Amino acid sequence: MDFTAQVLTTLEALGLELPGNPPAPGGDYVPFRLHNGMGFLAAQTSGPGEEFRGRVGEGLTLEEGQRAAEQAALNALARIHQALGGFDRLVGLLHVAGHVSSAADFYDQPEVLDGASWVFNQVLGERGAHSRTAYAASHLPKRLSIELEITFAYREV
């Protein structure tokens, strides 16, 4: 089984789905760049809906923040799939920087981002292993609760 089929099978077994249309860029920029075996995704969010808008710890619970991070990770996977024409060329994730819109007294940003890391590790296996940085933000654009920045390695054609 090729790696793309393996990823799709794993998603299905977990009860998850690769979004067919991840959120479009919110400005005048491209959703990804590929350069010499390195891929860079523009900020990945939980999507255009209102379900996960606002600050974690103020309007959103830790668990809702984790679900927002999971959805942002699924959107990121959809974008990588688009960028590479599947997952077979994906060598692996390198780094994930996660920005969490947080209440002033909320300090569990790493636990929120565990939602995204769980998706990457479960779905991609060894290729999902990544370093990670968690940032607290007083607010994010459009009242978003999560933004993920992702760098990955890929094989040239």
Containing domain of residue 72, as a range? 3-19+31-154
Beta-strand pair 90-101/131-137: parallel
| CATH code of residue 78 | 3.30.1330.40
Q: What is the tens place of the pLDDT at every residue in 119-137?
A: 999 999 999 999 999 999 9
The pLDDT, as a whole number, for residue 31 is: 97
Q: Is the predicted pLDDT of residue 1 greater than 80, yes or no?
A: no
Q: Decide: pTM greater than 0.75.
A: yes
DSSP 48-116: SSSTTBSEETBEE-HHHHHHHHHHHHHHHHHHHHHHHTSSTTEEEEEEEEEEEEB-TT---HHHHHHHH
Residue 117 lies in a domain: yes
Residue 124 lies in a domain: yes
Share of residues in the chain with pLDDT > 70 (%) = 100
Residue 115 lies in a domain: yes
The pLDDT, as a whole number, for residue 26 is: 86
The pLDDT, as a whole number, for residue 49 is: 79
Residue 26 lies in a domain: no
Beta-strand pair 146-154/90-101: antiparallel
Residue 51 lies in a domain: yes
Domain count, the chain: 1
Residue 108 lies in a domain: yes
Q: What is the tens place of the pLDDT at every residue in 17-70?
A: 999 889 889 899 999 999 999 999 999 999 887 889 999 999 999 999 999 999
The pLDDT, as a whole number, for residue 154 is: 98
